[in-house]
Amino acid sequence: MNKKIDECLAFIDAFAPLVRDVADADIVIAPPYTLLHVMADRLKTTNISLAGQNMFYEEKGAFTGEISPAMLSDIGCEYVILGHSERRTIFAETDDLINKKIRAGRNFGLEIIFCVGETLAERESGRTFDVLKRQLQAGLKDIPHGGIVIAYEPVWAIGTGKTATTAEAQEAHEFIRTRLADMYGTAAAEMRILYGGSVTPENIDAVMSCADVDGALVGGASMKAESFARIVKFSK
């Protein structure tokens, strides 16, 4: 929940030229709803795609305050983030609710960035893999693999300055890849798994060196054009 219109446009005007030559990565920005319209217009001539931070699972109706997948698609969004840890922890979103949202998003042609991850208590009690397995199986129940990107975000490493070691990140991503293979067979090898947990320009190269890390879900470090551009142009 950051940036007003003038701040957002200034960011894009600074960021877009820094990444205009990037052709080997998909660059996606997910601003608040209030910025989607102006961002959609500004991004038309760039290599940057637009995402919603969340959405409801109905197309329209008496759901005051909610935004539908049809609305996101209509305004120019290609992606939507679902199941983010803040939605799960602060707003008590359940696996079943997230599953409904994923299904609705795919029905309207949106690419889904589906977030999974464990809390510090769950990690310290040895339940990381149990949590990831539950979130994947429940969130993706009866959902085809197409148009799904997984984002692993260890909750204990979000906004804390802590980052999973490369070994911890690879271990979790490998587990997710294996579970996806159980669900989707050989198609799992083509599914992208992002790491999200205090990603910075200083640690992006190490994070992206992991065999099963295909990209990053970036928070605070995406707020400044130079730092986000450095992350986009990581060295592997």
CA distances from 229 to 3, 175, 189 (A): 18, 29, 27
Taking only the tens place, the pLDDT of each residue in 137-189 is 999 999 999 999 999 999 887 766 676 889 999 999 999 999 999 999 999 99
**Residue of 111, 122, 153, 173 marked catalytic:** 153
- Measured from the Cβ of residue 131, the count of other Cβ atoms closer than 10 Å reads 17
pLDDT band of residue 235 (cuts 50, 70, 90) is confident
**Residue 84 catalytic?**
yes
Rounded to whole angstroms, the Cα distance separating 43 from 13 reads 10
Structural domain spans, the chain: 5-232
Taking only the tens place, the pLDDT of each residue in 1-41 is 999 999 999 999 999 999 999 999 999 999 999 999 999 99
pLDDT band of residue 56 (cuts 50, 70, 90) is very high
Rounded to whole angstroms, the Cα distance separating 25 from 208 reads 12
Q: How many whole angstroms from its chain centre is CA 138?
A: 18
The angle subtended at Cα 12 by Cα 156 and Cα 74, nearest 5°, is: 85
**Residue 153 catalytic?**
yes
The count of C-alpha atoms lying within 13 angstroms of the C-alpha of 39, restricted to the half-sphere facing its C-beta, is 29
Q: H/E element holding 114?
A: strand 111-116
> Which backbone phi and psi does 151 adopt, to 5 degrees?
-120, 115
Is the Cβ–Cβ distance between 108 and 73 less than 8 Å?
Answer: yes
Superfamily of structural domain 5-232: Aldolase class I (3.20.20.70)
188-215 b/e (C-beta count within 10 Å ≥ 16 → b): beebebbbbbbbbbebbeebbebebbbb
**Residue of 58, 84, 145, 190 marked catalytic:** 84
Taking only the tens place, the pLDDT of each residue in 70-126 is 999 999 999 999 999 999 999 999 999 999 999 999 999 999 999 999 998 898 899
Rounded to whole angstroms, the Cα distance separating 147 from 218 reads 20
Rounded to whole angstroms, the Cα distance separating 23 from 127 reads 39
pLDDT band of residue 236 (cuts 50, 70, 90) is low
Nearest CA-CA partner of 145 in 187, 86, 92: 187
User: Could you give the 3-state DSSP secondary structure of residue 116?
Assistant: strand
What is the per-residue pLDDT for 156? 83
